[in-house]
């Protein structure tokens, strides 16, 4: 496997986007300006609030002759609402569901491999990548209306990484199409789709983007996680960056259950004097992910790692910034949680940026969240947590380990 650092190239324009307030206007504007094609992948596509505005932008693009490909996940989204299926079909939006559950649902372990990445490529010149689903910031499908928006991030990028994003979205589309053709016994077309899925698309060059927001010419790259060629690329990039940290590590992650190697890397960094801060989920969202996180707190805090739980709303970010004020700043924004479901099973995408300005802005946003919207976890509080809470933690961690055992994975 290639060295993750070797994937980074100079000459990217990168804009940090925080939450739907910054992300959706930029995404919709890019779709409205598309001239030839839009490729969009997302785990959740919820047509509530601003989600409907994105759907309308895709519809407008298709009606004016832009080729629009949309892929949604079979668990995160399921089937699109029938009204939107009809509207997309009438406009010419081509849409597919990645790994539909079928009658047995998640009882089949192979269906635990989900499309969790959030990628959009416009005209082969501009890419969006991050943790933000097509989901209104103030709406949660499970918890209803939110008083405060989720904390999440994405990036808008032009440069060489766009070609990689274009290739991976195109390959996934044609592989889904090939499977569909096989199920329909259309084997010649299936063969053509598999061949198309291996094509390398030409890069058409950077997008001139003087628009609003923070834009810099930076070294950056796209890291992917799948079940074929890139099984551990994102985790290795994290471990390499943590091992090279000299001053500070800040990680904000919604579902944080790091494997042994990543835990050891954080502990070693803290013990050699690096300031390590973790911003983690402070509000209950899902049983397994919420409770399985807590058992790792003890060893990390014993080594001097600070843990803060975000309480203002749901934390959905999957970002990190290392040595933002040092000689070799490193930052990542993407879809990958630091838990076995993301690291071992899901298709994920993270953008890595080596740039002082970008790292400084991301650090400022995270420090604001830590200081104003979070609570620190005290070692004494953790040590004295009640027995029932410890039992829930062990149960959740046991379920996660059982899931890994069933899939034959080690973490």
Per DSSP (E only), the strands in 58-175 are 67-73, 94-98, 118-122, 126-130, 139-140, 144-145, 153-158
4-196 and 218-407 share one CATH topology?
A: yes
Of the candidates 380, 257, 250, 234, which has an alpha carbon nearest to the alpha carbon of residue 305?
250
Q: Is the pLDDT of residue 194 over 70?
A: no
pLDDT score, position 180: 67
Active site residues: 116, 118, 123, 316, 318, 323
Confidence of residue 183 (pLDDT cuts 50, 70, 90): low
CA gap 390, 81 in Å, rounded: 40
Mean pLDDT taken over the chain: 90
pLDDT score, position 190: 43
pLDDT score, position 207: 45
In this predicted model, what pLDDT tens digit does every residue of 286-344 receive, in sequence order? 899 999 999 999 999 999 999 999 999 999 999 999 999 999 999 999 999 999 889 88
- Answer whether 335's CB lies under 8 Å from 117's CB: yes
Least-confidence region, from 54-63, 88-97, 286-295: 286-295
Domain topology for 4-196: Endonuclease; Chain A (3.30.870)
Quote the pTM value: 0.91
- Answer whether 93's CB lies under 8 Å from 132's CB: no
Domain map of the chain by residue range? 4-196, 218-407
Q: Cα angle vertex 373, ends 370, 377, to 5°?
A: 60
pLDDT score, position 187: 45
Of the candidates 223, 247, 236, 235, which has an alpha carbon nearest to the alpha carbon of residue 351?
223
pLDDT score, position 182: 56
Domain topology for 218-407: Endonuclease; Chain A (3.30.870)
pLDDT score, position 109: 80
């Amino acid at each position: 496997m290639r060295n993750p650092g070797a994937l980074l190239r100079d000459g990217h324009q990168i804009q940090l986007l925080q939450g739907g307030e910054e992300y959706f206007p930029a995404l919709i504007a890019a779709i409205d300006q598309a001239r030839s094609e839009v490729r969009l992948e997302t785990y959740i596509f919820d047509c509530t609030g601003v989600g409907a505005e994105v759907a309308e932008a895709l519809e407008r693009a298709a009606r004016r002759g832009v080729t629009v490909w949309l892929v949604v996940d079979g668990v995160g989204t399921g089937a699109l609402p029938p009204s939107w299926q009809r509207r997309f079909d009438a406009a010419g939006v081509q849409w597919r569901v990645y790994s539909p559950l079928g009658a047995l649902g998640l009882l089949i372990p192979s269906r635990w491999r989900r499309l969790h990445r959030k990628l959009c490529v416009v005209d082969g010149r501009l890419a969006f990548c991050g943790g933000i689903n097509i989901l209104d910031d103030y709406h949660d499908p499970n918890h209803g209306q939110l008083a405060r928006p989720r904390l999440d991030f994405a990036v808008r990028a032009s440069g060489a990484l766009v070609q990689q994003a274009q290739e991976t979205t195109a390959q996934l589309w044609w592989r889904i199409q090939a499977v569909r053709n096989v199920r329909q016994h259309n084997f010649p077309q299936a063969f053509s789709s598999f061949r198309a899925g291996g094509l390398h698309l030409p890069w058409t060059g950077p997008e001139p983007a003087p628009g609003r927001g923070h834009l810099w010419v930076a070294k950056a790259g796209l890291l992917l996680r799948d079940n074929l060629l890139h099984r551990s690329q994102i985790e290795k990039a994290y471990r390499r960056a943590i091992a090279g940290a000299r001053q500070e590590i800040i990680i904000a992650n919604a579902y944080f259950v790091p494997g042994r190697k990543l835990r050891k890397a954080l502990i070693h960094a803290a013990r050699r004097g690096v300031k390590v801060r973790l911003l983690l989920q402070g509000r209950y969202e899902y049983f397994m992910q919420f409770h399985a996180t807590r058992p790792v707190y003890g060893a990390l805090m014993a080594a001097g790692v600070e843990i803060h739980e975000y309480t203002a709303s749901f934390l959905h970010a999957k970002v990190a910034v290392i040595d933002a004020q040092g000689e070799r700043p490193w930052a990542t924004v993407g879809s990958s949680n630091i838990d076995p479901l993301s690291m071992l099973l899901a298709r994920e995408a993270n953008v890595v940026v080596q740039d002082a300005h970008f790292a400084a802005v991301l650090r400022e946003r995270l420090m604001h969240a830590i200081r104003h919207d979070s609570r620190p976890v005290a070692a004494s509080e953790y040590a004295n947590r009640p027995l029932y809470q410890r039992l829930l933690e062990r149960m959740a961690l046991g379920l996660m380990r059982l899931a890994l055992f069933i899939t034959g994975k080690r973490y």
